[in-house]
A = this chain, B = another copy of it.
Amino acid sequence: MTPVTETKPRPAGKTAVVERVQRADARRNREAVIAAAKKLFADEGLDAQMPDVAKVAKVGVGTVYRHFPTKQDLIAALAAERFERLAEKAREGIAAEDPWEGLCDFIRFSAQIQADDRGLCEVMGSRPEVMNDSALTVGLPELCDQLVDRAQRSGRLRKDLEWEDIPMIACGLGRITPSEMGPATGRWPRLVEIIIDGLRPPGSSKLPKPLV
C-alpha cells in the first residue's frame, strides 16, 4: 500500500469517528452540492427543495442525501459556515483600534450577511436550535461579551447593555433585511443606524468620531 493522498480505512483511533478517504468525484460533488445549496437557500430561503438543490448541483438527489443525510444537516452545515464568518468579524471588531466602531461594524455586518442570505435570516428566525448550536460552536457568546465590554470601557457604549443583547439585535435585523418588506423594502440600513444611535450612552452626541 502506497497511499497517494491519505491513509485508507484507518483502524479508528479510539471509539467513534472513522475517517475515510473520499473518492475524488465524491469530494467534487460534495462541493457542488454545497455551492448549489448556498445559492438556493440564500435566494429562496429554507423552503428551497432538496431535488432543486440536486438539480442545480447537477447531481442526483441520492447524492445530495449521501453527503447530507437530512435537509436539516445540509442547513446546519451552511449555517455553520455563516457563523464562522460572523465570528471572524467579531474577532476583527475586538481587535479594532476603535472599540465602538468595532462593535458597530459587527452589527452592520450581521445585518448585511442576512440581507445577502435569506436562508440565514430564517435560521436565525425560526431555527433556534441550529442557531444556538452554531453560535456556541464558534464561541460567539464570548466574542460578543468582549465586544461589548471593550466598547463600554471606551465610554461610548451605554453601560446597561449586555452581550445577550447583541445576538438579539442581530436577530431582529434579520427580519427586516429580506426583500419583501412591502413599503419599507431596502430601508433597513436606516434602522441599523437608529439602533446604533440607541446604543450610545444617554446624552451623548450622535455626531461623528472623536479626535485621535
Contacts and interface: CB of A to CB of B under 8 A. Distances in A.
A174 B184 CA distance: 15
Q: Which of A162, A172, A193 has the most CB of B within 10 A?
A: A172
B183 A194 contact: no
A203 B172 CA distance: 25
Contact of A165 (B125, B190, B196): B190
Copy total for this chain: 2
Contacts of A199: 194, 198
A60 interface: no
A195 B191 CA distance: 9
Given A171-B175, A172-B191, A198-B198, 13 more contacts: A128-B180, A141-B183, A164-B187, A165-B187, A169-B194, A171-B176, A171-B181, A172-B175, A195-B198, A197-B198, A198-B199, A202-B205, A203-B205
